[in-house]
Amino acid sequence: MPSWQDFQPFIVTGLALGGVYALSGVGMVVLYRATGVLNLATGAIGAMGALIAWALINDHGWPQGVAYLVCVLFGGVVTLAYGMAFGPPLAGRDPLVKAVATLGLALILLGLMSLIWSDKARSMILPTTTEAFAIGTVHVTWTQVIGIALGIAVTAGAAAFLRYTKLGTGMRALADDREITASLGVPVRRVEAAAWLGTGILSGASGLLLSNLVGLDAATLTFLVISSVAAALIARLSSLFGTLLAAIFIGLVNALATPILSISQYRDMAPFVIAVIALLFMSRKGNLATARGAR
Amino acid sequence: MSTATSTPDATPRLRRSAPGLQTREIRSLIFVAILLIVALAVLPQILSVYWVTICTAVAYYSVVAGGLGLLMGRVGLVSLGQIAVLAVGAWIACKLSFSTSLPFPIVLLVTGLITMVLGTIIGLPALRLSGLYLALITLMLAGAITVALRTMQFPNGGPGFLGNDPNQSDPVRRPAIALTDVAYFRYTVVICLILFAIALWHVRGRAGHAWAAIRQSEPAAIAAGVNITLYKLWAFALASFMTGVAGGLLAGDVQRLYAITFTTQQSIILLAVVLMGGIYSLWGGIIAGIFYSLVPALLNNWGVAADWLTILFGVGVLQVLLTAPGGLSQQFPRDMKNLYGLITGKKRKERQAMQAPPGGEAGAPRAAVSDGPDQSGVVE
Amino acid sequence: MSVVIDGLTVRFGGVTPLDGVTVTFEPGTNGIIGPNGAGKTTFFNVLSGFVNPASGSVHAFGDDLLGMAHYRRARWGLRRTFQTEQAIEELSAAQNVAMVLENTPGSGSAGSRREAALDALEFVGVDVNPDEPVGTMGARERRLIEVARAVVGTPRVVMLDEPAAGLPDEETEHLGRVIQRIPDETGALVILVEHDMTLVSACCAVTSVLDFGKLIATGPTDEVLRNEHVIKAYLGAEDAELEGVIGNE
């Protein structure tokens, strides 16, 4: 069994990853509550944004800061475009249908990424990854700090946003009952657009951070979304802080298994196994409805 | 106004004899027969061995797609990880192949049965979840299996339970009567035909009736005595069995297996082609199999990147979901089917019902505003 | 051989759709009437097993109905039709009706099930090709097919939920004649929820009245229809037919 010393660096890794999972997880929960859509293309969108940034920096010599901004904005724009195009026609359908539709988007993006960039190994190093400091014997990069800090900040920020702003209240109203909300004069389209855009920006940001924490590979980044989904599911697709806690838990378990040689190779199973156990456990207490309001 | 005695209407006499085969069905049977002859006799003559092996893949992927289509179209359950199930079947078949000397058909059967049991064990607790959660559980499981396989790889004659030795690469055995690729192709086609026949037998029989009822209205199904959980599990079991056997056929086909064949992306692509092929008919499974195995090979042959196909599949998913007729929306269980958890929706109807003037006109259609909570399951 | 309801109460959050309903249904045809929102369909849903009561019991022919799993009740002999008809569109009329028998163990071969299904279809007097998908048929046929499904085989309790809703008068009369024959020809106890008072008068010797979840009257139909509490409960309605029936009785 590895020593406490051996675990320490992985606590940092786990926290950072967890924070980033929370970033896209929170976005997913907010979007789901507002529109009933569980956006499974989040990872693909982030991946593509990261690849675009990479291409801008390496093939076209753009300054890093601008490229990263493009990545984040790309996430917002593509998600918003999808939401505006496919949100309304699917609005009355079952959440399962809406989620499967986002898989269609994911496939399109995966195909595009593979077509344009193929599977070559790439890396994109944020300036914050090269800057590091030490806590005791542990090496911590600023990217990791951003990961966990942003995760916590966005969770708190989103919770505050939902509670205290007009737009946020509109989103909560939509989550409860779409028809009544519309009849109350809430600008449904605008609120939904805000939800799509916001969650898209979070996708872009997490894509960027994950490309540094994990690697810049389209397929890997795309399917890392499953970890965020796992966190969101454990939080029953409704609690933001629950998503944060679940995401950090998943990140930690995943990372802390690394130095334990007997299970290390299977550590990436952690998010999935945790999610399945949590879901099956929760289903014992009676049926889980997919939404608080009938959708 | 009540009538003490009433003259009964002249009750119509209905046709008693069971309907024979209808023209539609006869046409299908003839078509199947032709297809069979073409597959078994013609194709091996005109195609090179490479293309024959592609057709072998089309055959067993059609079975996988057919099973998934059955789950989605008949029972409304979406599995986002069916390729992982296929991988499990293939793994079991490899293990049996190397660790036992069971004849190949028995290997296939046992593989199918074990996969079926595993699928049912997962299905039992999972079925209590609504459609979206169930689909996501399959995604999670697929992810877990994919990761595990990357490390475990497939048995290839190596030692221990996992049976994998990276330095070794023994081939999975084939049945004695089907050692060559062409012979194996014919063998596969026959087995797949049997699997489709089993599926069809279910669809036409008691299970199919129950599934049709469940899909349209769970309350009506229950009122007719249908044990919904049992029939949903049965669908799970059938799809798992078919996929397991397909996994065995795959193992015998490629004979050396690698985890990279069974990624999560492949599960999503399978879902896409099943949707595009059509989930209401077993023919859809064959179309899906062609999309999944044949078309990429053709594109490869013509020098077109397979990525275009991935994009096409993504578009296909969106198109099917958007333009599907109302019937397709019955494929995914709607929240209304969750009989016990619709309180918020019902409360709204109750409020509406309470506020409506009592009585109303006799004979007026009673739509949403009904007598208290409407659990007939048809509103909305 | 009766159905005994004792203190049946259902609560959903802050609403009480059924409140301490106590009534006994005797063999024959029993009516249940009441204004919208009175709890009639909730009542059926409790018996069907779709809703769990907060308290109370239901004993049918001496058996504890609430103790049975919902899908087993059909096998026991509890049948129902729904307010919005629920004939399964993909299946043929014969298959729709036979489905009940398919899910009842010991109901014989496929051939005998088909025979029984066709018998039931003839009983309700629907003139269709029994092997065509029901989705191609009109509302009247589908409703009758649903009724056939409720009476096929050996039903013990048949619950009909507003079977005349949306039907024109001559169909309602035909339906009435069918309903009247059910107890005699199948031996089943019939419970009929209806808004159509003519149908209730024609078919039901005994009627109970629900209002806001409570039982406010029960007894011979013509007495109940004249009961001032009952009339008050319906007050404010543009229910000309109701007034007409009450006025003419």
Please tell me whether residues B253 and B121 are part of one structural domain. Answer: yes
Is residue B380 over pLDDT 90?
A: no
Is residue A292 over pLDDT 60?
A: no
Q: Which of B2, B18, B228 sits opposite C71 (nearest CB)?
A: B228
Is residue C248 over pLDDT 60?
A: no
| Mean pLDDT value across residues A244-261 | 90
* C32, β-bridge pairs: C193, C208
Please tell me whether residues B351 and B329 are part of one structural domain. Answer: no
Interface test with B, best of C40, C48, C68, C84 (most B CBs within 10 A): C84
Tally the residues of chain C: 249
Contact between B335 and A288 using a beta-carbon 8 Å cutoff? no
pLDDT of residue B344: 39
* B243: its two tokens: 């996929």
Please tell me whether residues B69 and B117 are part of one structural domain. Answer: yes
Closest CA to C226 of C211, C242, C210: C242
Report d(CA A44, CA B177) in Å as an integer.
Answer: 46
ipTM higher than threshold 0.95: no
Chain C from 24 to 83: CB within 8 A of any B CB:
34-42, 45, 48-52, 70-75, 79-80, 82-83
Please tell me whether residues B353 and B320 are part of one structural domain. Answer: no
CB–CB contacts below 8 A, A to B: 188
Q: How far is CA C153 from the centre of its chain?
A: 17
For residue B15, is it within any domain?
Answer: no
- Nearest CA distance, C53 vs chain B (angstrom): 12
Contact, A159 vs A218, CB < 8 A? no
Is residue B333 over pLDDT 90?
A: no
The SS3 assignment for C57 reads strand
C127-137 burial code (b ≥16 CB/10 A, e <16): ebebbebbeeb
Please tell me whether residues B166 and B149 are part of one structural domain. Answer: yes
- Which of the listed CATH numbers 3.40.50, 1.10.357, 1.10.3470, 2.30.30 matches domain A4-284? 1.10.3470
Please tell me whether residues B160 and B288 are part of one structural domain. Answer: yes
| Mean pLDDT value across residues C216-222 | 90
- Nearest CA distance, A209 vs chain B (angstrom): 22
- Nearest CA distance, C26 vs chain B (angstrom): 19
Closest CA to C179 of C198, C153, C154, C202: C202
Binned at pLDDT 50, 70 and 90, residue B66 comes out as very high
Expressed in percent and rounded to 5, the helix, strand and coil fractions of chain A are 75, 5, 20
Is residue C216 over pLDDT 80?
A: yes
Residue B359 is classified by DSSP as S
Please tell me whether residues B289 and B368 are part of one structural domain. Answer: no
pLDDT of residue B64: 97
Contact, C209 vs C33, CB < 8 A? yes
Is pLDDT larger for residue B378 or for residue B94? B94
- Kindly give, in sequence order, each residue whose CB lies less than 8 Å from that of residue A158, ignoring residues fewer than 6 positions away: A26, A27, A30, A240
A173-218 pLDDT, tens digit each: 887 777 777 778 778 888 899 999 999 999 999 999 998 888 888 8
Please tell me whether residues B38 and B139 are part of one structural domain. Answer: yes
Please tell me whether residues B247 and B281 are part of one structural domain. Answer: yes
B18-58 pLDDT, tens digit each: 777 677 778 888 888 898 988 888 888 889 999 999 999 99
Is residue B111 over pLDDT 90?
A: yes
CB–CB contacts below 8 A, B to C: 219
Interface test with B, best of A29, A217, A226 (most B CBs within 10 A): A226
Q: What mean pLDDT is reported for chain A?
A: 87
Is residue B368 over pLDDT 80?
A: no
pLDDT of residue B362: 32
Report d(CA B220, CA B201) in Å as an integer.
Answer: 23
- Nearest CA distance, B314 vs chain C (angstrom): 30
* C227: its two tokens: 């009961």
| Mean pLDDT value across residues C2-10 | 92
| Mean pLDDT value across residues C197-202 | 90
Contact between A100 and B321 using a beta-carbon 8 Å cutoff? yes
Q: Which of B128, B141, B322 sits opposite A283 (nearest CB)?
A: B128
Is residue B355 over pLDDT 50?
A: no
Q: Which of A114, A226, A265 sits opposite B140 (nearest CB)?
A: A226
| Mean pLDDT value across residues B297-303 | 93
| Mean pLDDT value across residues C67-92 | 90
- How many percent of chain B have pLDDT more than 90? 44
Is pLDDT larger for residue A181 or for residue B68? B68
pLDDT of residue A285: 60
- Nearest CA distance, C208 vs chain B (angstrom): 16
pLDDT of residue B9: 52
| Mean pLDDT value across residues A52-70 | 91
Binned at pLDDT 50, 70 and 90, residue A271 comes out as confident
Is residue B337 over pLDDT 50?
A: no
- Kindly give, in sequence order, each residue whose CB lies less than 8 Å from that of residue B19, ignoring residues fewer than 6 positions away: C131
**Region class of B182: left (phi > 0), else alpha (psi between -120 and 50), else beta:** alpha
Please tell me whether residues B64 and B37 are part of one structural domain. Answer: yes
| Mean pLDDT value across residues C108-120 | 89
Measured between CA atoms, the residue of chain B closest to residue C78 is B223
pLDDT of residue A185: 78
For residue B11, is it within any domain?
Answer: no
Contact, C79 vs C159, CB < 8 A? yes
pLDDT of residue B12: 67
| Span of A8-12, A286-290, B226-230, B233-237 with lowest mean pLDDT | A286-290
Binned at pLDDT 50, 70 and 90, residue C170 comes out as confident
The SS3 assignment for C235 reads coil
How many domains are contained in chain B?
Answer: 2
Please tell me whether residues B241 and B347 are part of one structural domain. Answer: no
The SS3 assignment for B175 reads coil
Contact between A99 and B135 using a beta-carbon 8 Å cutoff? yes
Is residue A78 over pLDDT 70?
A: yes
Contact, A110 vs A44, CB < 8 A? yes
Binned at pLDDT 50, 70 and 90, residue B10 comes out as low
For residue B18, is it within any domain?
Answer: no
Is residue B280 over pLDDT 60?
A: yes
Q: Give the residue carrying structure tokens 């009109």.
A: C138
- Kindly give, in sequence order, each residue whose CB lies less than 8 Å from that of residue C20, ignoring residues fewer than 6 positions away: C7, C8, C9, C56, C214
Report d(CA C44, CA A203) in Å as an integer.
Answer: 49
Is residue B349 over pLDDT 70?
A: no
Report d(CA C182, CA A131) in Å as an integer.
Answer: 85
Domains of chain C as residue ranges with CATH: 1-71+158-167+191-249 (3.40.50.300)
Binned at pLDDT 50, 70 and 90, residue C244 comes out as low
Is pLDDT larger for residue C213 or for residue B347? C213
Phi and psi (nearest 5°) for A232?
-65, -40
Report d(CA C63, CA C58) in Å as an integer.
Answer: 8
> What residue numbers bound the domain in which B103 lies?
29-337
> Using CA of residue A18, residue A21, residue A27, residue A29, what is the dihedral sign?
negative
Contact, B266 vs B83, CB < 8 A? yes
Identity of residue B194: I
Is residue A45 over pLDDT 60?
A: yes
Subunits with at least 3 CB pairs below 8 A relative to chain C?
Answer: B
Interface test with A, best of B77, B82, B132, B355 (most A CBs within 10 A): B132
C214-220 vs C206-211, strand pairing mode? antiparallel
Report d(CA B378, CA C82) in Å as an integer.
Answer: 9
Contact between B347 and C12 using a beta-carbon 8 Å cutoff? yes
| Mean pLDDT value across residues B74-95 | 92
A152-180 pLDDT, tens digit each: 999 999 999 988 888 888 888 887 777 77
Q: Which of C51, C80, C83 sits opposite B366 (nearest CB)?
A: C83
Subunits with at least 3 CB pairs below 8 A relative to chain B?
Answer: A, C
Closest CA to C41 of C75, C80, C12: C80
B114-148 pLDDT, tens digit each: 999 998 888 887 777 778 888 998 998 888 998 89
Answer whether A touches C (≥3 Cβ pairs < 8 Å). no
| Mean pLDDT value across residues A8-29 | 91
Query: Any idea where the domains of chain A sit in the sequence?
Result: 4-284
Is the entire prediction scored with pTM above 0.90? Answer: no
Q: Across chain B, which distance is largest between two alpha carbons, in Å? A: 92
Q: What does the radius of gyration of chain C's CA atoms come to, in whole angstroms?
A: 18
End-to-end C-alpha distance for chain A, whole angstroms: 49
Is residue A246 over pLDDT 90?
A: yes
- How many percent of chain B have pLDDT more than 70? 81
Is residue C152 over pLDDT 50?
A: yes
pLDDT of residue C230: 83
CATH code at position B285:
1.10.3470
Closest CA to C235 of B311, C227, A161, C128: C227
Contact, C182 vs C146, CB < 8 A? no
Please tell me whether residues B312 and B372 are part of one structural domain. Answer: no
Instruction: Report which listed range, A283-292, B16-25, B142-151, B344-353, is most confident.
Output: B142-151
Interface test with A, best of B121, B122, B133, B336 (most A CBs within 10 A): B133
Q: What mean pLDDT is reported for chain C?
A: 87
